[in-house]
Amino acid sequence: MAFHLEEVTTARSRREFLLLPVRLYKDTPYWVRPLDSDIEKIFDPSKNKSFEQGACIRWLLKTPKGETIGRVAAFVNHKTAWQDNDQPTGGMGFFECVRDRAAAFTLFDACKHWLEQQGMQAMDGPINFGQRDSWWGLLVEGYDKMPNYGMPYHFPYYREFFEAYGFREYFRQFTFYRNVEQPLQQMVHQRAERIYRNPDYHFECVDKKKLAKYAEDFCTIYNKAWVKHEGIPPMTRQQAQALIEELSPILDPRIIYFAYFKNQPIAFFINIPDLNQALKVMNTGKFNLLGLLRFFWFKLTRDFDKMVSIVFGVVPEFQGRGVESAIVAYARQITNVDNFQYKHMELNWIGDFNPKMVKLAQMMGGQVCKTHITYRYLFNPQQPFRKPSVIQ
């Protein structure tokens, strides 16, 4: 069958880009329709800072009769293209396609050729045009579970498409599950007690009246704990403040924790309610009247019972001292009350290149419930393929 690509440039094609997965996954009980605005802001230069040093293009794949059977986006950020890479590397993502290898390869070819024109020599995918914390990786395990907010769900046959085309596994991202009521291991309590005996340490939940302060503290810890990792740029105070303001409507102070030493911020453990529980009920893609009614019905009849751990960090000079155990044990104290709202926790997006975080998740009693793979495709297959460095 002959296909043709249509660049997404009009209101009609942008709408079709959003609606294709709605049709593809209509009989898939675990898929959750994301908010249209969460997808569209990625491709809006006024809202996505990645456009300041990059470019993006989207396509729909059509049959001769005009039926949309696939979609994809390709993008390049010239600021990060060489970062920790042996070759300039762009990205592709938001791939959706019917079960047709030729159709999938047509979409992959479009991304490759466009990225070559941008001077790239490789592409990662499926990834986001922006931060790693959302829409990153291909689901390969956990098809019988609902994705967390901002994380992708995919058909199992997508993996065959990527690997048959020549994409190779770059790294894996694990999601760990634990029952909130599950006791922690004794060694966690023992390590925590050693920290608690030192009065220079203290731990606290956030106070929503002091969000500006916590944004500052978050930025301090993040830049010390995470920026040394490959592919992660530093965060500015303004970005931290914007992030906190964006999350403020859903922040629950009972599940966000900070640690301090002599009143200096040294660690955080950030959890949020899993909004996908509500979006699954809404199933509209937007907070219109119907969506709002369904959201309030969800809050009235069910409410959130799952929280998602979105980021955990300890500044380097305090790593390995027991602070990790202490902040986890502190969280357990807060949640260990009768009729606590949240019964389930998922620790989101832990890379296989970060064995310390994998070990921490296991120490908390977590079990892998979902796995995503970030693939890399070298345009010149003779080039050496290098995986990310393991975080020591």
Domain-wise residue ranges, the chain: 4-173+374-378, 181-342
Dihedral sign from CA coordinates of 142, 143, 147, 151: positive
How do residues 336-347 score in pLDDT, each as one tens digit?
Answer: 999 999 999 999
Tell me the pLDDT of the chain averaged across its residues: 93
Pick the CATH number of 181-342 from 3.40.50.11260, 3.40.630.30, 3.90.245.10, 3.40.50.300: 3.40.630.30
Q: How far is CA 255 from CA 195, 264, 269, 312, 334, in A?
A: 20, 20, 8, 12, 8
Rounded CA gap, 206 and 234, in Å?
A: 23
| Sign, CA torsion 147/151/153/156 | negative
Whether the per-residue pLDDT at 230 is higher than 80: the answer is no
The pLDDT tens digits for 274-283 are 999 999 999 8
Q: What is the pLDDT of residue 286?
A: 86
Residues 29, 143: Cα–Cα separation, whole Å: 10
- Higher per-residue confidence, 243 vs 387: 387
Residue 135 has pLDDT above 70, yes or no: yes
What is the identity of the amino acid at 309? S
In terms of pLDDT, which residue wins out, 8 or 286?
Answer: 8
The angle subtended at Cα 351 by Cα 347 and Cα 355, nearest 5°, is 95
Beta strands 344-351 and 264-273 are unpaired
Note the pLDDT of residue 246: 77
**Four-CA torsion 129, 280, 31, 304, nearest 10 degrees:** 80
CB 170 within 8 A of CB 162: no
How confident is residue 228, by pLDDT bands cut at 50, 70 and 90? Answer: low
pLDDT of residue 188: 94
* pLDDT at position 287: 80
Residue 145: which of 31, 283, 33, 34 has the closest Cα?
A: 31
Percent with pLDDT over 70 in the chain: 98
Taking the C-alpha atoms of residue 314 and residue 128, their distance in angstroms, rounded to an integer, is 26
Name the residue among 205, 141, 196 with its Cα closest to residue 174: 141
The pLDDT of residue 63 is: 96
Mean pLDDT of 123-150: 96
Give me the mean pLDDT over the 128-137 stretch: 94
User: Residue 229: what pLDDT?
Assistant: 57
The residue assigned the tokens 């729909």 is 60
CA dist., res. 122 & res. 125, Å (int): 10
Pick the closest to residue 73 from 49, 52, 90 (CA basis).
90
Give the homologous superfamily in CATH for domain 4-173+374-378.
Answer: Gcn5-related N-acetyltransferase (GNAT) (3.40.630.30)
pLDDT at position 1 = 66
Percentage of the chain beyond pLDDT 90 is 81
Enumerate residues 6+ apart whose C-beta is below 8 A from 293: none
Element (H, E) at 93: strand 89-97
CA 339 to chain centre: 29
349-390: pLDDT as tens digits = 999 999 999 999 999 999 999 999 999 999 999 999 999 999
- pLDDT above 70: residue 232: no
Q: With 90 as the cut, is the pLDDT of residue 177 above it?
A: yes
**Do the two domains 4-173+374-378 and 181-342 of this chain adopt the same fold?**
yes
Q: How far is CA 350 from CA 174, 194, 257, 268, 337, in A?
A: 5, 27, 19, 16, 28
Task: Tell me the two tokens of residue 92.
Answer: 């592709």
* Confidence bin at 227 (pLDDT 50/70/90): low
What is the chain's Cα-based Rg?
Answer: 22
Q: What angle do CA 333, 251, 312 make, to 5 degrees?
A: 60
Has residue 300 got a pLDDT over 80?
no
